[in-house]
Amino acid sequence: MRILVTAGPTREPLDAVRFLGNASSGRMGFACAGAARRAGHRVTLVSGPVDLPVPRGVRIVRVTTAREMRRAVLEAFPRADAVIMAAAVADYRPARRFPGKIRKGRRELVLRLVPTPDILRELGARKGRRILVGFALEARNARREALRKAREKNLDLVILNAPAAIGAGRVDAVALRGGRAVRRFRRAPKETLAAWIVAAVEELAAGKAAPEVSSGRKHR
């Protein structure tokens, strides 16, 4: 299979030296890319700015902003059989990029923010027979919001986790498909979750059901 993976944060520039971003380390996306390559798939990894070694055999496209990530993803998407969207794309960007460096003054600085492109929704509308996996990082009404995201963005599988997953090496997560939980993870290494996601993508592509609910740490 040809698998497209996204990883890391995006940075939305405010001026020449400042940006809006988040604390995503990129570890989840890089783990998915590595797991897919080890399983024998051709992998393209579109990554925001992170400091991680690229898994052997993975083609990487480096981007900075949400709009750059959208362009890179849409360029690779027609050749992909499956997409794992693990990137933590910024939801908003400054409406204006100030030239040079904003000087500190005594007055308040008010910023106007505008939405960034919803890449996952766009892929869901275009996916055809492709497998599409998304992540839902939620703090309130988590399961309801994750299922809404899966429905509205036409996802085959959504991985629900919490803000504590950002930058962490281990994660609590629930994989949801068809309105129900198909796997639960407790303090699992992100590499374990990544290997399970790749196996689930393979089964979905083969027309099989995702693995059943389990609370153990082992993956298939």
Active-site residue numbers?
22
Q: Which one-letter DSSP state was computed for residue 207?
A: T
- Rounded Cα distance between 110 and 107, Å, is 10
Can you state the angle between helices 66-76 and 119-126, rounded to 10 degrees?
A: 20
Question: How is residue 137 written in tokens?
Answer: 């990082």
Q: How far is CA 166 from the centre of its chain?
A: 11
- Rounded Cα distance between 168 and 189, Å, is 9
Q: Which residues contact 71 (CB under 8 A, 6 or more apart)?
A: 63
